[in-house]
Each structure stands twice: as structure tokens, then as C-alpha cells.
Structure 1
Amino acid sequence: MIVLFWLLGITTLVAQTVNSIGIRLVSIPAGKFYMGSERDGKDADESPVHRVTITKSFLLAATEVTNAQYEAFDPAHKTLRGKNGFSKEDDEAVVFVDYVNAVAFCDWLSRKEGKPYRLPTEAEWEYACRAGTISDFSTGNSLPKALQKSQQTDRDPVIVSLKVGQTVPNPWGIHDMHGNVEEWCLDWYGPYSGEQSDPVGRAAGTFRVTRGGSHGTPVTFLRSANRLAMIPEDKSWLVGFRIVQAPMPSTQPQPAATAPAVMQRVSQKRFSWHPVSTTQPVFKEPQRYVRKPDCALNVPFYSHNHQPAISWYPNGDLLAIWFSTDAESGREMTVLASRLRARATTWDEPSEFFKVPDRNMTGASLFQDKQGTLYHMNGVETDGDWQNLAMILRTSQDNGANWSKPLLANPEHRKRNQVIAGLFQTKEGWLVQAADADPGPTGGTAIHISKDRGKIWEMPYTEPQTPDYKAGATGGLIAGIHAGVVQRNDGSLLALGRKDDIPGPDSVGLRMPMSVSTDMGKTWTYSASELPPVWSGQRLVLYRLNEGPLLVVSFTHHPDEREGPKAGMLFNKASGAPYKGYGMYAALSFDEGKTWSIKKLLTDGKERYLNGGAWTGAFEMDSTHAEPKGYLAITQTPDNMIHLLSSSLHYQFNLAWLKELPINE
């Protein structure tokens, strides 16, 4: 049948058919178009603009697949209607379907009708979306308000109708290509490779392309050229799909993208570690590990580099990862990595380590189990912000040259999944990962536990309410965000966190909260530690050293705090004389965290200019001043050297240095 549409003063003849389950299919003619855009920065993956030929016409669904249409294939999906408040009605776009679900629906429909159904290729999708235009949107370089639905990043999702086909179609009669819900495409995500006919993407990859943007998404992500992608098994309230009726193009896919530099030239020779002296103090010159890469490398390096994690490899290398972004709530956020190769003295230039395109990537950790398996955990948002994160896990068995496909360790995009550096293994062999319980400055820390080396993860405490963090109280979360967690020798867990501070004895003021669990994280008991609180821009580490004692590295005070009794902290010189120091310090406990008998400012006393990057910036180190703030991460190599990262700097020292008090000037 022929349907006449009127759009923005243009009369368009559209040929369409309706299939057996009520999906309207519009004939899209063969033709040529310019794919991509000339944007850079977060949109650099849209370049280069290249000519694409679609050699054969195809039928494309006029709208996204609805609940009623999808549930003709999968009736059980009806239980997901209204999840998080979205998509309750028959004629709303189906959501909470992953790539595998969408492909299975197409296969079912193909068998049902004896016709080839599939997802659109990325090129077919953009070709149909543009509908003969070359502008940002099929409506020009702006999107009319009538086509928009809460087009901003919503920390708490704003409920809107996802009813399909309610706005005017584009010039080819296709609805909802700019927004409503994102749509799965057929292709593996990968870089463009120039002029092509009927491209089908890459031969392999990690993520599947999604297109079109959605509700709860800034308008720029709804442009015709904008590229998004997702882990194929991921699903959310933002993503659905539409279908094509046509045979699969016969084009051969492009080769898989090359591995980033951090995964190249990786030695597989086992390193021979030679323990550093147990009596000779060692403190090496701090060096930058966050280095701006050469522009020719095309590494997505942004203005704000922060929140590191670190681990060592059996081949002697160190790996540091961190996020790079312009805004902490930005979709451009990516995880970069640098490698300090065995016996090298300078970190490699950074390269991209892990990035789900156009998703916020807040929170990452690394851990090496001393048996050759390296674990990487990361948060993955639905869009921007960092509240509704899923948790993924990847592993490497070959010193980080190759990584497993991301496993959704916690597939629900929700609070309590903001990964914190400090993943560790208990004496039972269980993996424990701390994660912020709330995106705000307070709200505590949750833990996730895997008893099978990362295959299945569970939270010991799942109740939504936040405990009352006061001395003697008990609750299901660790007091304070960004918590460091260790297992004590008696099997209990000990944690220290930021904010949710607890008054100390007498008149000492607020103290860093200490949480102890004797039931592996189901409940925690709170008390005031003897350590000062940490503030914004600061993240402590809590770690068990190879030699046995517990180590805390934290900060004496917040540098924005006015000078007064709370600013700085008293330390002892070798003579026993006290002095006031400021900034990053280390504390050692030889009684499982009950007391911290040695406290030392993290400086060798040498005067030097340093730059801590991120929220820290430039500072002067001397005998009484260390780095004033930063997010910390730590590991200790088998030679017993301690490697501490702040937001941009790498510190190296040993236990003997920590025990040696500074001499009198």
C-alpha cells in the first residue's frame, strides 16, 4: 500500500507493508550517502566522513518493536513491563532486551514468516535515519522540541511515555530515529575504514553498536551520526530495537581493530623478583605515570585524569589504569592505562584500556591473585552521571596482552556498583570488591563477594536503607564512601572510609570511621578510629603488606581547611621530638588495626615541585609538606617494594623506610 506523509512542508510517498505481528515495514531505496561527521573529542569515532553505497533496497520497521510485538515471541518479558517505571503499555517500545534477545526475536520471526529478518547494519541505520539529509538531524541542525523527551542526563530517571510513532516521521516515513529509545544494530563496534559498499562492521569486537539516542539523553547523542555501543548482554530502560526484512549483505566484515599499545609487545617471560632490603630504607623520586600522549597516537586523553588502580604482572610489569574525562558525569569518560615495563624507569605513554562507547565509566579496580590471573572490574553507566552503574569483570592470563569478554558481575544498573580500587582475595579464596553505595559525598560503601573466582557475585547486604553511622551502631554498609577493606587474621573484615565521620574521645573532634564485620559483610559495627577524617578530593588506601602489618595511606587534613588546630598532624622525629606535618601520610598497625603505632609523612624531606593532577594540581614537597590530596591506589610487588599511586604520581618505598623516622634538622 502507498501512504502519503507530510513532514516540514515536504510531501513524501512511502511504500509500506504490515507483517504478521503488526510491524509496519517501509521500503528504503538503494542509494549513496555520507556516513559520519567531522567532530573530534568525544565524537572522534564518527570520523572520517566516508561515502557509503547501499546497493539494494530493504524493508525497515517504521517504529521500534513494541512490548506486544516482542512478547508474541517471549511472553515472559511481560514481567519486565514497568521496571524502573518505563514501558508499561502494549504500544510502547520494548526495553530491557539485550543484543542476544533482539537477534533471537529476528530469528523467530524469520522462521514464523519464512522471510529473512535481522537487525539493521550500522550503515543501513544511519542511511535510513538521514533520509537523504546531510545535517545533524533529519530535521536540520537542530531537533524540534516536539521530538524531544527529557533530553538531559537524569541521575534519577524521569519517566516518559515510550509509545512508538507519536511524532512526525522523517522524510522516508520512519519514526523515532532521534530518541525515544536507543536501538541495537547488527555490527560489532569498531573504527571506520573509508569508502565502502554495504558495510557490515568488524569481524569481531567487544561491543555491539546502538544508535539513535534515547529519552533521558542530551540532544547531541540523538544526532544521525552519533555512535553508541553496549556490551551485548547488557540491557536497560534506554535501549530497544527495530528490525529489517532483507537478506544479510554478502560483504565481508573488516578485520577486528588492533589492540591498544598497553596490550602490545608484552613479554611472557616470568620475572625474577629480588627482594629489597628489610633494613635499608628506600624512597624513590616520585614520577608521573599520567602523561599526555602524542597527538599522533589518537588516544582519547581529556582534561581530568583521576581515580587510579594499580597491579603487578608475573612478567615484572606494573599496570596503572585511571579514568580520563572532561566531566566526571560525562559520557566521554574512558579508562586509560599505562605500563611500567620490567626494569624500565619510565611509564609508557597511555593508551585506551576499556571504553563502552558513549557510556560513563566511573570506578575501576585491578587485582593479581599471585597465580597469574589479573582481574579488572569497572563500572558502566547507562549514559552519563555515575549513579546507575552495572559492574563488569574481565580477566587476563597472559600479563594483560589479552582480556576476556566483559562479564556482567552485577548486571543491574543501580546504586552500590561504583567500583573502588582495592579488590582483594580472602584467605578462603573469595574475591571482595568494595563499591560506593551512593553517588553522593556520603552514604557508605557496599561490598560484593565472589566465591568462585569471579563467575558469580553477590552482595551480603541488599537492604536499601542507609544505617545510622555512630559509635557502637551496627548496619549493613561500611561507614564512609571510597572505603578501603582488608581481612584480619581472625577472618573478620576491617574497613576505613571517607565522611560519615564519628566523634573521637574527649575533645579530639571527628575521626575517620572504622567498620568491622565478623560475618563477611552482612553486618558492620562502627567506631571512631584514631585517624583524622578524609574529605573531598581525597581517597585513602588500606592494605596488608607482604611482611604482615596493615598499612593506611591517607591525608592529615583538607588543604582548603583554614589553618587552625585541625590543620596538619603531629609526627615524631627520630629523637622523639614532635613536629607538625601536612598532607599525605602512612600509618602502620601491628595489631590488626586496633592501633596505628607508626605514622610518617610521605616525604623524604627533599624540596621539590610536583604536580598531582586532577583535583590536586601543583604543590611543593619538603620536610613538613607532602601531597595535599588525591585519590590513592596501592600494590606491593613480590620484591616487597610498595607502589602507591596518587591521581597522577607514582611513589615507591619499602617497609624499612616507613619505619625510619626523620632525623632532626
Structure 2
Amino acid sequence: MNWLRTAFAAILIIPQAWAQQTNTVGMRFAEIPAGRFYMGAEGEGETADEKPVHRVTISKPFRMAVTEVTNAQYELFDPSHKALRGKDGFSKEDDEAVIFVNYKEAQAFCDWLSKKEGKKYRLPTEAEWEYACRAGTVTDFWSGRFFPKTDHKSQKTDRDPVIVSLKVGQFKPNSFGLYDMHGNVEEWCADWYGPYGEGDRTDPTGRKSGLFRVTRGGSHGTPVAYLRSANRLGMIPEDKHFQLGFRVVEGDIPAGNPLPAVEPTAVFRGVSQKGFQWTKVSDTQPVFMEPIRYVFKPECPDEVPFFHHNHCPAVAWLPNGDLLAAWFSTNQESGREMTILASRLRAGQRKWDMPSEFFKVPDRNMTGSSLFHDGKGTVYHMNGVETDGDWKNLAMVLRTSKDNGATWSAPSMADPAHQVRNQVIAGMFQTKEGWLVQAGDADPSSNGGTAIHISKDQGKTWYNPYTGTDVPEFEEGKTGGVIAGIHAGVVELKDGKLLAFGRGNNISAGDKGEKRMPMSISADKGKSWTYSASEFPLIAGGQRLILYRLNEGPLLLVSFTHHPEEVDEKKIGMLFTRKDGSSFKGYGMFAALSFDEGKTWPVKKLITDGKDRYLNGGAWTGAFEMDKSHAEPRGYLALTQSPDNLIHLMSSSIHYRFNLSWLNSQ
């Protein structure tokens, strides 16, 4: 690398303290000279978007604000924003960085300031931002290889954010005189987010279009690795939260030509738009097809990010006969590297496509996906988006497709508040009134219940029927505002009530007080729920149930006989009845049917055809053996039933297919 350092030193300006000027709203600006630098880093995996390292020329000098825009400065433009001071505990004082500003609002501030000052103010391009941040360095930080400890705030992912001062300019500036280029608050840039192009560039301006706007610099609650000069973040332009602000530059917009819009990934290519003629499976003959995997490592991991933990599926059937499955891929469930992958089982094919990246907001945790086809040609994709890592402070975003998933609308903010209740659960459905219902965990822990979100206008707007904050008592006969148990499955009953089962918040049943899976019923479309103990065993970590109304009418519950870490022999397994009346003890995933709207569940069947198999459920499940008395021991479940009445059950890695007749057979 010595040749690189030598070449770099020969072409770069020598860093020095640059003269600063102040405008009429109290902003100080540093003169940033023209020059050249090496942009990006030799990234891989979650940092692959930082490569290739390429030489960029900034052909004209510009002036950059030495700090982020403060509350006092922004409120000269928008006095109403003062109501957001202290929201989530942050940024109360005049000299703290303004937060809760989306991209459009940041642009509007620049336009206002331009008119007020008679000069051109704007957001920096991504290249300008990194050039100014580096200030003549090639190291991870402008200060060298390591970020100075004196500059740290809470530089880690905190489920409950650590409240710190966002006062601007508290620490040493870089050699261009710029403060807070690493941390404090993230900063909007002008560019659409997309991969870098090949070769040297002059005054680059990003992509022609995209889904996300670039943000840079990381925040007060960002791990140090994401504060590096080369690190790229992004956000939905309409989003705003407690980690995100901006700074401005003065100068003309660079004349560089933007790169083309990003091409769709393989999951969208070659999608048939022909209507599919579904042939119904037999109503009388049992069908159980060989289980197949739908999660595969991509053939080119450099192009499709793929991590070791693949989990939390969603699935929908499509009008062209395809199935579409989505799930998250990550190293850690709280990680910023988490991305949503997807694959297709194309009509008539026996093997799922290799996965492609389906949805990823750069450097954000993406916990929770849901897919739903309304039967009329519109496919809905709901997903959680964090401010950073973890899965507590999630917003909910929605995309739709009307061409079998070939193209998708830009993500809209179904619930823009980054908060609890928004951890999306697979299982969106439509009521008889045509309302969409989406469940979301009401708490990031293993207890705390499930909330529902409702849209009466095909996903344009959403509301939560319960707006209170009281934590209910999840006990027999009690009433509360959320469903008992996280990861809940929800259906509408024929009388309009809602029925739900969940994991955790278990309720005692019978004389012995044995804990059972909780059941919740709402007679007012989710404003309140009444709790009782179900007849089903409780489930726990790595397990997620399904509740679904089949095309033929019965309700289907899919869950697990016990948790595989249970050691009490008396509490593991369930008794199942054979056709001849004899019984056996079975272990693992089972299905139950109700023909009377959930009052009784006379059919219970272990999900195995009795053949000996080695299978691997991935995620928390791992390898297991299927045989006459053993089914998959745990997994997160998702389910759809296609118009041919074939039931498609997805665990964390495996695709099961069977029909109602098989469930009814003993």
C-alpha cells in the first residue's frame, strides 16, 4: 500500500485550518477547497456498498457549515418544530443539533435560507461530504485509524436510547475546521443511494433515482464501526427520527452526471405476467408433498448479501402461479447488517430460485416482514425499519406490487413513528369489510403482547385501534388493549370478532394451574381484547405459530407440542389419535382444525407423513430428524393457501405442502 500513500500525498491538498465565515442566521462556514481524494473502502459483506475505492475530483471549492443545523437555526424557518424539542428525550436546547427532520424538510430549509441570504444553499453531495470529512486522510477517521475516546457518547446499539447532549461543536474539529463529522447526528446528503460506479469520477452526484437518500456520519447512538469516513447509510426520504439531522453547504450544485438508476435484482427479473389456471387439488385424496428448502446460499454472495442467520419468513401466492417468500438474513438479530431476501417458486418448477435482495434500508435493522395477496392482483409487503440496530424502535413501511412482484412501489410510511408495536408479523389479512389487518409485536421482549394495525383504504393510511399505554394483566377473563402473547396469529370470525393466539403471556388453566397458550378475542375490531387459556401448549424462543382461515372454511392453527429445551418428560410431546382410535405421543410441529370458529379443535395432526428424513430448519432450529412421531421442533412459521387449495407452510428454512384432506386423515 506504500505506492497508494505516495500517490495520494502527491495529489491531495495539504490539510490546514481554513478561514470561517458566518451568515445572518448564525451559521459558521469553512472554505473547502477543490481537490482529489480516494472515496470508499475495500468493503465486504455488510460494508460491500463502500467499494470500490475510487478517485474522485471535487472540481470547485465550496463552503460547508462547520456544524449541523441547530434547533435555534431551524426554528427560524419552522417555528412549529419547537414542539419536537425533547421528543424521545433528545435535543432540548437552542445549540443542539436539530432532529426529526425528513429529507424534504431539510431541502425546504435550504431553499428558505437561499432566499433569505441571496445565496445558494443546499445539502452536500455524498462525495462532498466524504471529501470534507476526510480532510486529506485515507484512514478510517479523519483523526487516524482510531476514533478518539473523548469523542464517544453512547457509541453502541441501545435498545433504550441513552439520552446525551446533542450540542454541536463539543469536540475537536477536523483539519478543515468541521465539527461532528463522526457522530452526534446523522446528516442528510443530496444523493439517491446506490452502488458506486467503476473508475475515476468528477463531481459525482449519485444515482438518477432510487428508494433512499444517503445519510452520513452516524449518530450519538451508533457503533464506532458505522462512524467511519467511508461508511454509507441511507433512509427513506419521508422518515425522520431522533438520530437524524443535517448540515448545509453554500455553492452551486456540482455538474457531474448522475449514474443510471439501479437495476432490479434477480427476484424481479423474467416474471411471467400471464394469468395462471389453478387446478384444485383433490377434496378427498390426501396430499402431502416432499418438504423442500427455500433458503439457499446465493451463487454470488458478493452481489447478494447473505449471512448465517436466516429467519422470520413471509409468503404469498401470486396471480401468475408463483409463490413469493421473504425472510431476513443477518449475523445478529439486532444487527444493522440485516437485510430482507426473497425467492420465487415459479409456476411448474420444483426448486426455489436462488435468493435476491428484496428490501434493505442501508445500515438499518429490518426485523419483521409480511406478504399478502388480496386475491385481486395487489400484493402487499409490510416491513419493519429501525433507526439503527435492535428491533424495538421500528417504523412500519409498506410497498405494493400489481405485476406479480416484478416491480414495487416506493416504500411509504405506514407508521412513521419509530416505536414499539411495529415489529411486523407475517399474517396480514383482509376483513369482510375489505380492511387490511397487520399484527405487530407490542414489545421487543418475550412477553408484552401484540398490537394490530388497520387500513380501511387499501393501505393508504393505517391506524392502531388501541392508543393507550397501560400494560394489561394477561389473566383469565381480564380485558386489555393488546393481544396476549407476542408473534400472534390473528383471524376474523364469521360474526366479525377477531380471534388471536400468541407466544408468551401464558395463562393458567384447570385445577392444577398449568400454563397454556393464551387466546384473545376482540368484539370491537381490536380496541380491546378478552383473555383466556387455550387448550394448546405454550411455545417459546425460536417458535412462532400460525392462525389462518382456509379457503374451505375451517380455521387452521399450526404450532408446536413443546419447546425442545424442555427437560420435564411429562411436559413434552402431545397425544395424537390414529384413524383406528389408538393414540401415540408425537413431538414437534402440529396442525389443529376448528370447524366451529375456534370453540373446539377436534382435529390435531403432527406435520409428518411418517417417512424418515434428515432435514435442516436453519435459524434457531438446525438439523432434525422427521419420522412417524417427530416433526420440526421449532421455527418461525408463515402460511398461505393458493387458489388450488394447496396449503403452503414455511418454517425458517423449509417449505411444506399439503391439503385439507391430508389434515383430516388420521
Quickly name the TM-score band, shorter chain normalised: over 0.9
Deviation at 1:596, TM superposition (A): 0.5
Cα distance per residue 1:487-545 (max 9 Å; x no partner): 00000000000011111223372111000000000110111111111111100000000
Structure 2 matches for 1:279-290, cutoff 5 A?
279-290=284-295
Instruction: Name the structure 2 match of 1:168.
Output: 172
- Secondary structure, in 3 states, of the residue corresponding to 1:365? strand
**Structure 2 contact 17–175 (Cα < 8 Å) conserved:** no
Q: Distance in 2 between matches of 1:18 and 1:575?
A: 89
- Secondary structure, in 3 states, of the residue corresponding to 2:17? strand
Q: Which runs of 5+ in 2 are unaligned?
A: 1-13
Structure 2 matches for 1:343-354, cutoff 5 A?
343-354=348-359
Q: Distance in 2 between matches of 1:11 and 1:598?
A: 76
- Residue 139 (1) aligns with residue 143 (2): yes
Instruction: Name the structure 1 match of 2:11.
Output: none
Q: Distance in 2 between matches of 1:615 and 1:372?
A: 34
Q: Distance in 1 between matches of 2:504 and 2:238?
A: 36
CA RMSD after TM alignment: 1.0
Instruction: Name the structure 2 match of 1:277.
Output: 282
Deviation at 1:11, TM superposition (A): 8.7
Cα distance per residue 1:449-471 (max 9 Å; x no partner): 11111111111112112110111
Instruction: Name the structure 2 match of 1:115.
Output: 119
Cα distance per residue 1:205-253 (max 9 Å; x no partner): 0000000000011111110000000000000110100001011111221
Q: Distance in 2 between matches of 1:268 and 1:458?
A: 33
- Secondary structure, in 3 states, of the residue corresponding to 2:150? helix
Q: Determine which of 556, 560, 581 is the counterpart of 2:565.
A: 560
Q: Distance in 2 between matches of 1:68 and 1:565?
A: 66
- Secondary structure, in 3 states, of the residue corresponding to 1:72? helix
- Residue 40 (1) aligns with residue 27 (2): no
Cα distance per residue 1:329-353 (max 9 Å; x no partner): 0000000000111111100000000
Q: Determine which of 57, 71, 75 is the counterpart of 2:75.
A: 71
- Residue 464 (1) aligns with residue 474 (2): no
Q: Distance in 2 between matches of 1:146 and 1:562?
A: 49
Deviation at 1:109, TM superposition (A): 1.0
Deviation at 1:563, TM superposition (A): 4.4
- Secondary structure, in 3 states, of the residue corresponding to 1:12? coil
- Secondary structure, in 3 states, of the residue corresponding to 2:18? strand
Q: Distance in 2 between matches of 1:490 and 1:11?
A: 73
Structure 2 matches for 1:203-352, cutoff 5 A?
203-295=208-300, 298-352=303-357
Q: Distance in 2 between matches of 1:617 and 1:247?
A: 56
Deviation at 1:295, TM superposition (A): 2.5
Q: Determine which of 486, 491, 511 is the counterpart of 1:486.
A: 491
Cα distance per residue 1:105-149 (max 9 Å; x no partner): 111111112211110000000000000000000000111111111
One-letter amino acid of the counterpart of residue 87, structure 2: K
- Residue 386 (1) aligns with residue 391 (2): yes
**Structure 2 contact 159–392 (Cα < 8 Å) conserved:** yes
Deviation at 1:14, TM superposition (A): 1.1
Instruction: Name the structure 1 match of 2:370.
Output: 365
Q: Distance in 1 between matches of 2:15 and 2:483?
A: 63
Q: Determine which of 397, 415, 435 is the counterpart of 1:410.
A: 415
One-letter amino acid of the counterpart of residue 41, structure 2: S
Q: Once structures 1 and 2 are overlaid, which stretch shifts more, 619-628 or 106-115? A: 106-115
Cα distance per residue 1:313-369 (max 9 Å; x no partner): 101010000000000000000000001111111000000000000000000101000
Instruction: Name the structure 2 match of 1:178.
Output: 182
Q: Distance in 2 between matches of 1:498 and 1:424?
A: 19
Deviation at 1:85, TM superposition (A): 1.0
Q: Distance in 1 between matches of 2:244 and 2:413?
A: 17
Identity fraction in percent: 69
Q: Determine which of 29, 34, 38 is the counterpart of 1:25.
A: 29
One-letter amino acid of the counterpart of residue 478, structure 1: I
One-letter amino acid of the counterpart of residue 143, structure 1: F
- Secondary structure, in 3 states, of the residue corresponding to 1:286? strand
One-letter amino acid of the counterpart of residue 76, structure 1: S
Q: Determine which of 50, 53, 58 is the counterpart of 1:54.
A: 58
**Structure 2 contact 508–533 (Cα < 8 Å) conserved:** yes
Q: Once structures 1 and 2 are overlaid, which stretch shifts more, 533-542 or 294-303? A: 294-303
Deviation at 1:296, TM superposition (A): 5.8
Q: Distance in 1 between matches of 2:60 and 2:574?
A: 74
- Secondary structure, in 3 states, of the residue corresponding to 1:339? strand
Q: Distance in 1 between matches of 2:238 and 2:384?
A: 15
Q: Distance in 1 between matches of 2:236 and 2:631?
A: 42
Deviation at 1:13, TM superposition (A): 3.1
One-letter amino acid of the counterpart of residue 143, structure 2: T
TM-score of the pair, normalised by structure 1: 0.97
- Secondary structure, in 3 states, of the residue corresponding to 1:593? coil
Instruction: Name the structure 2 match of 1:3.
Output: none
One-letter amino acid of the counterpart of residue 78, structure 1: K
Q: Distance in 1 between matches of 2:416 and 2:252?
A: 33
- Secondary structure, in 3 states, of the residue corresponding to 1:310? strand
Cα distance per residue 1:624-654 (max 9 Å; x no partner): 0000000000000000000000000000000
Query: Across the two proteins, how many residue pairs are aligned to each other?
Result: 652
Q: Distance in 2 between matches of 1:26 and 1:476?
A: 53
Change (3 A) 1:66 1:400: same
Change (3 A) 1:587 1:181: same
- Residue 544 (1) aligns with residue 543 (2): no
- Secondary structure, in 3 states, of the residue corresponding to 1:109? helix
One-letter amino acid of the counterpart of residue 663, structure 2: L
Q: Determine which of 89, 93, 102 is the counterpart of 2:93.
A: 89
TM-score of the pair, normalised by structure 2: 0.97
Cα distance per residue 1:419-447 (max 9 Å; x no partner): 00000000010010000000000000000
Instruction: Name the structure 2 match of 1:5.
Output: none
Instruction: Name the structure 2 match of 1:423.
Output: 428
Q: Distance in 1 between matches of 2:617 and 2:651?
A: 7
Cα distance per residue 1:234-282 (max 9 Å; x no partner): 0011010000101111122100111011111111101000100000110
- Residue 524 (1) aligns with residue 564 (2): no
Deviation at 1:297, TM superposition (A): 5.7
Cα distance per residue 1:379-430 (max 9 Å; x no partner): 0000000000000011111100111111101000001100000000000100
- Secondary structure, in 3 states, of the residue corresponding to 1:229? strand
**Structure 2 contact 205–258 (Cα < 8 Å) conserved:** yes
- Residue 12 (1) aligns with residue 16 (2): yes
Q: Distance in 2 between matches of 1:546 and 1:252?
A: 53
- Residue 149 (1) aligns with residue 148 (2): no
Instruction: Name the structure 2 match of 1:637.
Output: 642
Instruction: Name the structure 2 match of 1:158.
Output: 162
Q: Distance in 2 between matches of 1:83 and 1:515?
A: 33
Instruction: Name the structure 2 match of 1:621.
Output: 626
- Residue 515 (1) aligns with residue 517 (2): no
One-letter amino acid of the counterpart of residue 60, structure 1: M
- Secondary structure, in 3 states, of the residue corresponding to 1:628? coil
Q: Distance in 1 between matches of 2:272 and 2:23?
A: 56
Q: Distance in 2 between matches of 1:355 and 1:271?
A: 30
Q: Once structures 1 and 2 are overlaid, which stretch shifts more, 296-305 or 463-472? A: 296-305
- Secondary structure, in 3 states, of the residue corresponding to 1:53? strand
